[in-house]
Amino acid sequence: MTADPRQRITDLRNELNRHNHNYYVLNAPEISDRDFDMLMKELEALEAEYPDMDDPLSPTHRVGSDISSSFEQEPHIYPMLSLANTYSINEADEWFGRVRAGLGGEDFAITGEMKFDGTSISLIYEHGRLVRAVTRGDGERGDVVTENIKTIKSIPLQLQGDGWPEFFEIRGEVLMPWEAFERLNKEREFNEEPLFANPRNAAAGTLKMLNSREVSRRSLDAYFYYLLGPELPFDNHYDNMTAARSWGFKVSEIMTLMHSLEEVDNFINHWDKARRELPVATDGLVFKVNSLRQQLNLGFTAKSPRWAIAYKFAAERAVTRLKFVSFEVGRMGIVTPVANLEPVLLSGTVVKRASLHNEDIISALGIHDHDLLYVEKGGEIIPKITGVDENGREPGAEPIRFVSHCPACGTPLVRVEGEAAWQCPNKFGCAPQIAGRVEHFVGRKMMNIDGIGEETARQLLNTGLVSNIADLYDLQPSQLLRLDGFGPRSAERVMEGLEASRSVPYDRVIYALSIPFVGDTVAKKVAKAFPDIDMLMSASAEQLAAVNDIGPKIAEGVVEYFANEMNRSIVERLKAAGLQMSMTVENSEPHSDCLAGKSIVISGTFSHHSRDEYKDLIERNGGKNVGSISKKTDFVLAGENMGPSKREKAASLGIPLLSEDEFLAMIEPA
């Protein structure tokens, strides 16, 4: 740490900006919420001490944003402020004392609630119907995600009962339950996609997906904790939320009304342990002054209400003995070290294994044979090794050394350029890589061939029936019947899946090939830019890198893949088997240039096509999709429930609004 406080201010700003980017953009936080808050508090104190160092772009002047250019934005009717955090019972007690002083000794009640660890959402209801859902964003405005919110079955679209105001806002947390989170990460691990660090990141990422069907599949949930509006049914928070529960909202039964400091402390002590039995992630408790009148009297600081505070649970940590480190090979040949541990109970689950990721992390932690390791979860389900108890090290213990040869096939490993990873280059002779590529190829988002899972893929490989993905199309039912666990119906399902896969679109075939760095999104972009496989196989790195969002690393990975004669042979065999190796005319050719040069904003909900389909229609007719209205906007494609602010801005600038029917008539051929 630098001794110069001014330099420390600069360093803290840079570090906090980096952590904000990791959290909000990459969904890959490196530090805990508490550590982040401690850095922020240090910066706030230094900036107060050195006011001449004030900078309007300092992290202390902003709230981290989850706004995405892919969604339309709406301002919040009431700003969504964050709560001040406390990390000890003493700090919570001090807040209680400040409330008592702020109310001049007047009696008051406190509502205690669970702080669910999800992503914040604001819902607007009019006449008992959901009309808009907006993410927290920067606290002043957020992304409109109404269509995705409608997929969450615990959220009422039409209220039940009676007594609800004609207009109100309700706030809550969108969550991914532990069970759904574990299922999602297993799928991502199978596809060798980056795992979500915790359910909060998974929920946030899911809510921002452009495909609401995929959102629906991920089993999100939501709990609600605050009601706002000009005409609420009661003058206190507890009764308002109880009423909201009767209207169909999921309001936690944990919510408790308390009247003394002793009750607050008991609430903390109880839920610090009992929370581990809940089906969703939590990271603390929230305490609110119950009376709305008293809330108004206490008011707000610049960043948070004085009448509420968050108590954050400490991350759960355990110490356990390392049994051994195994080295596991994925479908791309990357070798991952895994710590195999003496079983230890952590956050309600028994932890036996934890990824060590790469050689650099092993070195940084300084792990030796049979060391005592610190394992943390906190709000996370994925266990993480955070340190070593060197006092428990066995005499003469040797440092853990990364393997130099592939643990599966014995081939010398090579270091991936620019990365910390080691890779087995034996692509076509290393069993885990081959089996992994087969598993990936048949996956639901790729070729969706039912009946071939991890165990079957290894059986096919071990029996010599399959040595690469093209061999799948040579399989016969009689061969499958010889495999363990296969009967006539199982074999028939595989054959039906193989036949159906011949109709899978070209972009999904590209994704299924296991080309380095080419996931489903990149595959779509590549397919549009190179609408048949021969064009793609002959594309240069420069041509690939010229495609939007395709950088040099991806381009080089594609070129290297098709430079391999074995890969080219496999693709030719797949082509001969009847797989879709080109874009259909409908998808690859522009319909017209009738929208050439026009910038178009899409707003609202539609009946004939989805928003994504309209965006595609605009692009295929020469137009450009833009996210916000300006003087350069040519017109707005306006559906139902168009945001009032966008409607007002379009009117003030004289931008025309076109209905669905008017737009479709415009692009129809004469």
**Residue of 41, 115, 153, 427 with catalytic role:** 115
Q: What does residue 647 show for φ and ψ, rounded to 5 degrees? A: -65, -45
- Give tens-digit pLDDT for 177-208: 988 888 888 887 776 666 777 788 889 888 88
User: Residue 229 and residue 127: Cα distance in Å, rounded?
Assistant: 13
Per-residue confidence (pLDDT) for residue 583, from 0 to 100: 85
Per-residue confidence (pLDDT) for residue 643, from 0 to 100: 67
State the chain's mean pLDDT as an integer.
87
Cβ 427 vs Cβ 364: under 8 Å: no
Q: Which two tokens stand for residue 400?
A: 């853990």
- Mean pLDDT calculated for residue range 528-540: 92
115 is catalytic: yes
- Give tens-digit pLDDT for 372-426: 999 987 545 678 898 899 888 999 999 999 999 999 999 999 988 777 789 999 9
- Give tens-digit pLDDT for 459-480: 898 899 999 999 999 999 999 9
User: Residue 533 and residue 553: Cα distance in Å, rounded?
Assistant: 20
- Give tens-digit pLDDT for 561-582: 999 999 999 999 999 999 999 9
User: Residue 108 and residue 260: Cα distance in Å, rounded?
Assistant: 9
pLDDT surpasses 80 at 633: yes
For the beta carbon of residue 208, count every other beta carbon within 10 angstroms: 19
Cβ 20 vs Cβ 65: under 8 Å: no
pTM for this predicted structure: 0.53
pLDDT surpasses 70 at 14: yes
Q: Considering only CA atoms, which of 540, 525, 536, 588 is closest in space to residue 567? A: 536
Q: Which two tokens stand for residue 56?
A: 């309007």
- Give tens-digit pLDDT for 337-358: 999 999 887 765 678 898 898 8
pLDDT surpasses 60 at 587: no
User: Residue 556 and residue 594: Cα distance in Å, rounded?
Assistant: 36
> Helix 89-102 crosses helix 261-274 at what angle (to 10 degrees)?
150
- Mean pLDDT calculated for residue range 87-114: 94
Confidence of residue 23 (pLDDT cuts 50, 70, 90): low
User: Residue 498 and residue 614: Cα distance in Å, rounded?
Assistant: 32
pLDDT surpasses 50 at 141: yes
Identify the structural domains of the chain with CATH numbers, from first to last: 5-61 (1.10.287.610), 73-312 (3.30.470.30), 318-415 (2.40.50.140), 431-585 (1.10.150.20), 599-667 (3.40.50.10190)
> Helix 565-576 crosses helix 552-563 at what angle (to 10 degrees)?
80
For 175, residues 6+ apart whose C-beta sits below 8 A from its C-beta are 116, 117, 118, 199, 203, 220, 221, 222, 223, 280, 281
Name the CA dihedral angle for 447, 451, 455, 460, rounded to a multiple of 10 degrees.
-80
